[in-house]
Amino acid sequence: MKILVTGGAGFIGSHLVDALLEVGHEVVIVDNLSRGRSENLNPGAAFEQIDICDARVENVFSTWQPEMVMHQAALANVRESFQDPLEYARVNVLGSLNLIELSRRHRVRKFVYASTGGAVYGEPVRLPVAEDHPIRPLDPYGASKHHVEHYLELYQVNFGVDYTILRYPNVYGPRQDPYGEAGVIAIFAQAMLNGRQPVINGDGLQERDFLYVGDVVTANLATLEKGSGGYYNLGHGEGVNVNRIFQVLQQETGFTGKREHGPAKLGEVQRIFLDCAAVARDLGWSPQTTLESGCAKTVEWFRAH
């Protein structure tokens, strides 16, 4: 198929592009390179450097006539979203709506949307968090991502635009930005390899569901034929605390320093991990990469780069 991938120069998007090309699809990437990196671009894909909010994105649809859109592009920094909520609404909501509307006009067969399981649910009232858990995002980033889910539902009901929504947990792996706010595995791995002391926020007992990027890619590939009109959590279904992450990376990098703790992050959810029974049932997907194996691959990449 012809598949348009937004954010295809980014961390997750570039891995998805690589996999789609490997199995024989034709791919066009839309990325403004504000967060993505040109070195992540696969030369086997066409590339259009353009913002998803730009009206000229329609030219990409007219020229390439994609059969599917796999929408990975987004602003995704929780603290930054508090500082500039209007920009997060512009890019994540209006940019996504621009793509959904163009998909309607150009008769795109399916729209696959990367949402967030870590931010749309807010503070969990039960664990693991299933898809029917109350939606209570506690930051502008989570709110902006969830708004788009509603637009996809109404575009399917009124215009027949098919979709699948994947709610990501904490994704990690090669090519992740080690200098951002999120991505504790990338941040710690880079620091340890450079002999710098990583600092754990708070007591380090906060738990997240850490998922290797290769497993995120296989979930996206499963949506090519399955998951019509569904929204699915991804993950292992269990939490891992940050102190454990430090220990695993210490073993992989040979870092000799001890754990160092700093102030807790204001407003941080203490424990969240996702129930993934629905994606296993409907898409036949489950993660195949253990934390130890995924961290080893990640450290290997950072060591080489």
- Note whether 21 and 148 are same-domain residues: yes
- Spatial distance between the Cα atoms of 279 and 253, rounded to a whole number of angstroms: 34
**Which of 88, 113, 121, 141 is an active site residue?**
141
Query: What is the structure's pLDDT at 268?
Result: 74
Q: Coil, strand, or helix at residue 122?
A: coil
- Residue 216 region by backbone torsions, left for phi larger than 0, else alpha for psi between -120 and 50, else beta: alpha
- Note whether 67 and 28 are same-domain residues: yes
% of the chain surpassing 90 pLDDT? 95
By DSSP bridging, strand 240-241 and strand 207-208 are antiparallel
Residues of the chain below pLDDT 50: none
Q: What pTM was computed for the model?
A: 0.96
141 catalytic, yes or no? Answer: yes
Query: What is the structure's pLDDT at 212?
Result: 98
- Spatial distance between the Cα atoms of 161 and 104, rounded to a whole number of angstroms: 6
Please confirm whether the linkage preceding 85 is cis (ω < 30° from 0).
no
- Note whether 161 and 258 are same-domain residues: no
Query: What is the structure's pLDDT at 267?
Result: 65
Domain, as residue range, for 193: 177-207+238-273+289-304
Q: Are 166 and 223 in contact (CB under 8 A)?
A: yes
CATH (domain of 89): 3.40.50.720
CATH (domain of 293): 3.90.25.10
- Note whether 21 and 110 are same-domain residues: yes
Residue-wise pLDDT tens digits, 267-278: 678 899 999 999
